[in-house]
A and B are shown apart, each in its own frame.
Chain A
Amino acid sequence: MAFDEYDSQNRIFTNVGTRPVRPDGIDKVTGRAMFGADMSAPGMLWGAVLRSPHAHARIRSIDTSKAEALTQVKAVVTRADFNEGASQQDVLDNCMAGEKVLYDGHALAAVAATSRRAAEKALRLIEVDYDVLPHVTDVDAAMKPDAPVIRESGGDESVPDGFSKNVMSMCEFGHGDVEKGFAEADLVMEKSFKTAAAHQGYIEPHACLASLGNDGRGELWVCTQGHFYIRNLCADVVGIDSTQLRVVASEIGGGFGGKTTVFIEPVALALSRKANRPVKIMMTRSEVFRATGPTSSTSMDVKIGMKRDGTITAGLAVNRFQGGAYPGSPVDMGAMCSFACYALENVLSVGYDVVCNRPKQAAYRAPGSPMAAFAVESVIDSLCQELDLDPVEVRLKNASREGTKASYGPRWPQIGLVETLRAAKNHPHYSAPLGPNQGRGLACGFWFNHGGETSVSLALSQDGTVALSVGTPDIGGSRASMCLMAAEELGIPYEKVRATVVDTASLGYNDVSHGSRVTYASGLATIKAARDAKQKLCGRAAKIWGIPEEAVVWEDGMAKPAGHNAGEHDPLPFAELCRSMGQTGGPISGHFEATPEGAGVSFATHLVDAEVDPETGATRVTRYTVCQDAGKAIHPAYVEGQFQGGAAQGIGWALNEEYIYGEDGRLQNAGFLDYRIPVASDLPMIDTEIVEVPNPGHPYGVRGVGETSIVPPLAAIANAVSRAAGVRMTELPMSPPRILKALKDRDG
């Protein structure tokens, strides 16, 4: 079966492609939007979590008696208060440690008290006897055979001999014969790269309000990217039936992948069950950094062969990603992305998933791909410099196109990489002059995008308006996009649709808002639910007119007779059909439930100018342009916003952001002071070019846009800085001390 959903070839859109004010806008500019920490309940307690100060230790004992003796303390929980038989053992263990703590910040006890300050003070009265064990936080060190072992069970059947038990799995992708390809090259270049762990850095700390009775029935208000999914996780970890827990997704203050799992939610539920009162937990910023998932830190080797004319003859990438104390780093996806932008005859990409004493990694925007692209695009840029070739032309020459067999297996359908490269080449930025100490970098990036389980319900009201119920939390303006698509399909004004992210009791299952899937999958489901409603509306018109249902069509927001044979009838507008629906057959809702599998892959090309101060190693990004394929931009302002936001996060990751661990295995920069995300004065305006090559898997051609935008920046900035500084930078972040040292080493 082909990608056969696209049906908008010559369609003229009236709503889609416009830029209306988002439905949650006024709430968000007046302060009344309710985020995770903004909800309270009568009789509410505050929870706080005790966290390990050690990177690796066996817990000999936990004495909570002094904390329990405080009158303000109403409940204390440890591992014994959770479902030991949980099917998601790693999730349970990460929420509440069992026999061992595995990283600085690992939770091992929690209290609920009458105020937040009382709860925090009570934590200091809990006495823990630790048997401190050797630790390892660096990916290369963790792979060595003599490294401290974090999980005795070791890796799976895919791991070759000779590695430590910390290597959990190995994967390989590719085709052809890379050695043959290297032999055909005029120049073969091999380099090694490292990237530091970067945190998603959402401004809203994790927060929730839980209420659970000992009958296993409960409510949870929480900021999350996926309330259905975490409902299931919470139910598993605290040992209740999933549908007995009703989860309401609050407004969410940023996630970027980091709010796709649970940390404090099962803890708040367990505390609530024990105290028989509602419990609110809000992480401190330090807890967010120490205990929630950053992305992997990595070590990579890339070898590429090129002919003098720019043809890439072979590519080899070895990716080593640590994913914290549990298996599951995104190295498989990184390895698949390494060479996805290029049509190569000979390609091999290998990945090792490694554990070490760090917090469990969580998804971060195109997990794995930015690092892989950094390594590959840096080597391509070096080859362009050595062979004196234009970086756009070389990429155009080798670019993946429709019909290309991807390095990880599938053959591409219609894709837009070439179009983004042409957009970059034609942008005035590409030919603008550079100043002293400035360099221009270019890089491409790829992300799969995702479909996922999706349910949407669209209910009509008697006044001719629409209540659209979706189950994917709105992480970037998606309610506006859903309203636009529903309005487009029904032929009614945008303002007549109200989109709500409803709770888990009000709709069928929905996968998490991740994988850039919301505008694609919930959008597709919204369109199909609207079409379902339209069919029902046509049925009502048919009844009213006394003609067969097939003789009615929906056009311009009205039911009309399909042709002269259907008879002469005045069109019935949407509002009129809504008004009479009680009498014509009852309430009308449209539905759609499916797992859409046509998510279109997305490519981007980024252009960046950077200026390096040769005396201090300081870098300033002076100009930035994003060219990305959106398939079809539903709300272009929020598409631009995704492009700009991804670029800005990439700039932070490339230049300053990093998890810094001390010799003692403790995180040294667990705050926004020293985990340095870009501030307003660090950045230029970020130009955007929306390329639209329709995704054949969506009725309007939508491709997800949220993730691809963070893939090229690491490489594009590294290429710009390397050209500006005159020395190739192979380790992120390219902090000033690192750049100054590279300059001094170059000059001997």
Chain B
Amino acid sequence: MRYESPSTLHDAVALLHAEPGLTRVLAGGTDVLVQLRSGMVEPDLVVDIKRIDGIYDIAEEEGGFRVGAAVSGAMLDEHAGVKTAWPGVVEAACLVGSTQVHARATLAGNLCNASPAADTVPPMIAAAATARIHGPDGVRDLPVEQVGIGPGKTALEKGEMIGSIFLPARPAHSADAYLRFIPRTEMDIAVVGAAVSLALEDGVISEARVALGAVAPTAVLVEDGAAALIGTTADEQALETLAAAASASCNPINDKRGTVEFRTDVAGVLAKRATLIALSRARGEA
């Protein structure tokens, strides 16, 4: 195994592209090192991107934020602007693993690891975030929901890597929230994750996006769930419709972390609860 730590995105892409064998991009390392240690993967080249200029930047852009690929959950949590605009994304980043993991783990890494249960992916999808992908043929932007295409699989081509995540601008009276179900209070992989982003006009939900994690091979955007909320004040009936839509969008598995029945039921419960939190934030109550 070779270890390289290039100082530009261009060099990083060139290294990844030129290596004929197995490559891994090292950002926070919280997944890559576990894979290395277990012998699950034996890469020929590891490219540590943390020496790349600007890779730790959180830059304001078109009213939104461009988050560098090495920005950790702890850094996001310390960034007042991102935390105000996208509290759900930030709370998800601070749920991944422990304090020690928050200090290293990144949005881009969580996305590229392509676990169906990744905590930050549902809120990024709900946020309509895009990933900026750098590759040998240049740069392209891809909506987050199109990056993961299956467990452990992404839409990235050979030689490509994510350089940044873009979180778009928010209208007034908008907010997001993320909730996950785990058996303990910390340290578990999500059994179900639910993210809701919404905006209010005159107290009525005018925009909404709902996304679920750990209930299908990839995180899912629940369009019926969003439709159930838009035009309502998230009254009881709207929430029940949302919950039913969330449960209906589940295509989970039985595994050591939960059953199909449990995931399907709890997806609806969490979608409702996340909506109420987002709503209260959008109203400026929390």
Q: Per the CB under 8 Å rule, do A and B touch in the complex? A: yes
A736-B256 in contact (CB<8A): no
- In the bound complex, CA of A704 to CA of B257 (Å): 37
- Distance between Cα atoms of A673 and B256 in the complex (Å): 11
A467 to B23 Cα, complex, angstroms: 58
- Are B183 and A735 interface neighbours, CB within 8 A? yes
26 contacts between A and B (CB under 8 A): A120-B39, A286-B38, A615-B266, A616-B181, A616-B266, A616-B269, A620-B185, A655-B183, A660-B256, A668-B256, A669-B256, A672-B187, A674-B256, A676-B188, A679-B184, A679-B185, A681-B184, A681-B185, A682-B185, A736-B183, A736-B258, A737-B262, A740-B265, A740-B266, A741-B261, A741-B262
Chain A positions within 8 Å of B258 at CB level: 736-737
Q: A615-B269, A673-B189 are in contact. Are A682 and B262 (CB under 8 A)?
A: no
A124-B39, A618-B181 given; A679·B186 CB < 8 A = yes
How far apart sit A616 and B179, CA to CA, in the bound complex (Å)? 13
Interface residues of B in 185-205 (CB under 8 A from A): 185-189, 191
Tell me which residues across on chain B come within 8 A of A120, comparing CB atoms: 39
Q: How far is the CA of A676 from the CA of B256 in the complex (A)?
A: 11
- A137 contacts the other chain (CB 8 A): no
A17 to B225: give the CA distance in the assembly, Å. 63
Q: Which of A615, A674, A676, A737 contacts B259 (CB 8 A)?
A: A737
**In the complex, which residues of chain A have a beta carbon less than 8 angstroms from the beta carbon of B188?**
673-674, 676
Chain B interface (Cβ < 8 Å from any Cβ of A): 38-39, 181, 183-189, 191, 255-259, 261-262, 265-266, 269
State the Cβ distance, B145 to closest chain A Cβ, in Å: 26
Partner of B183, one of A672, A676, A741: A676
In the complex, what's the smallest C-beta–C-beta distance from B247 to chain A, in angstroms? 12
A736 touches B181 (CB 8 A): yes
Q: In the assembled complex, which residues on chain B have CB atoms less than 8 Å from the CB atom of A678? A: 184
Chain B residues with CB under 8 Å of A695's CB are none
Interface flag for A617 (CB, 8 Å) = yes
Closest Cβ–Cβ distance, residue B239 to chain A (whole Å): 12
A:118-132 near B, CB below 8 Å: 120, 124
> Which of B39, B181, B183, B255 has the largest number of chain A CB atoms within 10 A?
B183
How far is A507 from B36 in the complex, measured between Cα atoms in Å? 45
Q: How far is the CB of B22 from chain A (nearest CB, A)?
A: 16
Q: Is the CB of A736 within 8 A of B184?
A: no
Q: Which 3 A-B pairs have the closest CB atoms?
A: A737-B262, A681-B185, A615-B269
Give 1 or 0 for each of A291-304: 1 = CB within 8 Å of chain B CB: 00000000000000
18 new A-B pairs (CB below 8 Å) besides A620-B185, A682-B185? A616-B266, A618-B183, A656-B183, A674-B189, A674-B256, A676-B187, A676-B188, A679-B185, A679-B187, A681-B184, A682-B184, A735-B183, A736-B191, A736-B262, A737-B262, A740-B262, A740-B266, A741-B262
Return chain B residues, CB-CB under 8 Å to A124.
39
- Smallest Cβ distance from B51 to chain A, in angstroms? 25
Residue-by-residue, is A109-123 near B (CB-CB < 8 Å gives 1, otherwise 0)? 000000000001000
Name the interface residues of A644-672: CB closer than 8 Å to any CB of B.
655-656, 660, 668-669, 672
Compute how far the CA of A660 lies from the CA of B254 in the bound complex, rounded to whole angstroms. Answer: 13
For A121, give the chain B residue with the smallest CB separation.
B39
The smallest C-beta distance from A264 to any residue of chain B, in angstroms, reads 19
Please pick, from A286, A656, A660, A741, the residue contacting B184 in the complex, using a CB distance under 8 A: A656
A673 to B30, CA, bound (A): 13
Residues of B within 8 A of A617 (CB): 262
* Cα of A326 to Cα of B195 in the assembled complex, Å: 49
Bound-state CA distance A679–B269 (Å) is 25
Considering the chains assembled together, what is the distance between the CA atoms of A615 and B181 in angstroms? Answer: 11
Residue of A with least CB distance to B189: A673
Give Cα A735–Cα B191 distance, bound, in whole angstroms: 12
Of chain B, the residue at the smallest CB distance from A616 is B266
CA distance A656 to B185 in the complex (A): 12
List the B side residues contacting A618 at CB < 8 Å. Answer: 181, 183
Task: Find the B residue at minimum CB distance from A733.
Answer: B183
Chain B residues contacting A737 (CB-CB under 8 Å) are 258-259, 261-262
Minimal beta-carbon separation of A249 from chain B (angstroms)? 29
Measured between beta carbons, the chain A residues less than 8 angstroms from B38 are: 286
A345-371 contact mask (Cβ, 8 Å, vs B): 1 or 0: 000000000000000000000000000
Bound complex: CA of A737 vs CA of B266, how far in Å? 10
Q: Contacts of B189 on A, CB cut-off 8 Å?
A: 673-674
CB proximity of B277 to chain A, nearest CB, Å: 15
Chain A positions 733 through 748: 1 when the CB is less than 8 Å from some CB of chain B, otherwise 0: 0011100110000000
Check B256 against A681 for contact (C-beta < 8 Å): no
Look across to chain A and name the residue whose beta carbon is closest to the beta carbon of B268.
A615
**Complex formed: what's the CA distance from A120 to B187 in Å?**
28
CB closest residue in chain A, given B272: A615
Nearest chain A CB to B40 CB, angstrom units:
12
**B183 cross-chain contacts in A, Cβ below 8 A:** 618, 655-656, 676, 735-736
